[in-house]
Structure 1
């Protein structure tokens, strides 16, 4: 006995919205908590705790991305301050942030972004357009996109 397809003929089907690629810009966060290089580490730690985030972009006065500060960077500063018995109040974001930042294009397919997350082990990627920070995509945003596609063909 042969296998019957209940889908019917496929050659006349039009592409639906579910078949269109989902872009990073569809799921990126646009209202970001950002930091300045002159911010003190104490205020950064307070912001991370208050807003329940694990890090954030560092921008200059022109809203251009100049670095990333994370919980790990903060923990490193706490540890070094305690080890050397130095006050943390002299530490600023500019001294502690990571300045080599990987970014993602907002037009990238969400599944290509997922692969980039797996390859890099980063928790977030900023999105820059014309030199300005316009958003950020996190691993959680990728999960949200996948859950919205639940039941659809990948």
Structure 2
């Protein structure tokens, strides 16, 4: 596989605590960490995995008392860097298995790199211009909150709807921004000022803060008939994972995310191969 993937992989050992792993995610501005030992991958963990685990775990253990090997996903998807594999196969695996990354290993089974949604979105933006429009792959399921809502209410909405981001609206229902679990983790002050025993690591110590305090005012949007490759390019440039979609009347009609671009990536390659096959036949 050509090295379009990241060879610099942030890792943690299986004995690390949830607190230590979250601290690494926050300091490196990443959403997932590979769990490895002796350079061999054993599992992978995302912030949402941790969030779901803590919701289900009924013990009184604090996040600095739970080792990550109890939480990590052990059934990891691996690809060797010597195989004739490509981004399409990674996209297909991510889309079909609903995962956010594929781990790359060398012939000795040691960690070599990782392909993430971001890598695929970057590749799609460069390669597949004018293949699909945004409306062909966007999600029409839009979960919203108001900018005056509490951060706890926003986090509860994400968990209840199994989404990682919300569209933020004003009092008139007009979209003004996005807030995600990653926004909350990035701004969390538990790792610098807080008590590591708390499980409310995504919520600020200042309980008076509301959604509007963490949302940037300049909302990035795309039109539903816009080229999906352009939306992918915006995600990479702005370092965002999702963009609200507007119709010709500037009405909010959907949300396009990196996952949607990955799905398009997994669709476009076989379509192009079929087109070439029929072109050769006829």
TM-score, scaled relative to structure 1:
0.72
The Cα of 1:111 is off from its aligned counterpart by 2.4
- The reply on whether 1:133 has 2:252 as its aligned counterpart is yes
- The reply on whether 1:151 has 2:151 as its aligned counterpart is no
The Cα of 1:27 is off from its aligned counterpart by 1.1
RMSD over aligned Cα, in angstroms? 2.7
Say which of 178, 183, 208 aligns to 1:68.
178
Q: 1:81 to 1:128 in 2, by over 3 A?
A: farther
1:24-53 superposed Cα distances (whole Å, 9 cap, x missing partner): 011111121111011111111222233332
Say which one has the larger Rg: 1
SS of match in other structure, 2:236: helix
Say which of 102, 105, 109 aligns to 2:227.
109
SS of match in other structure, 1:150: helix
2:140 corresponding residue in structure 1: 30
Q: Does the 8 Å contact 1:69/1:98 carry over to 2?
A: no
CA distance in 2, matches of 1:152, 1:89: 51
Q: Does the 8 Å contact 1:41/1:88 carry over to 2?
A: no
* Number of aligned residue pairs: 135
Q: Does the 8 Å contact 1:77/1:88 carry over to 2?
A: no
- Stretch moving more, 89-98 or 68-77: 68-77
Q: Does the 8 Å contact 1:65/1:131 carry over to 2?
A: no
- Relative to its length, the structure with more strand (as a share) is 2
Q: 1:142 to 1:91 in 2, by over 3 A?
A: same
CA distance in 2, matches of 1:46, 1:72: 14
CA distance in 1, matches of 2:262, 2:186: 29
The Cα of 1:87 is off from its aligned counterpart by 4.7
Q: 1:34 to 1:125 in 2, by over 3 A?
A: same
Q: Gapped runs of 5+ residues in structure 1?
A: 1-19
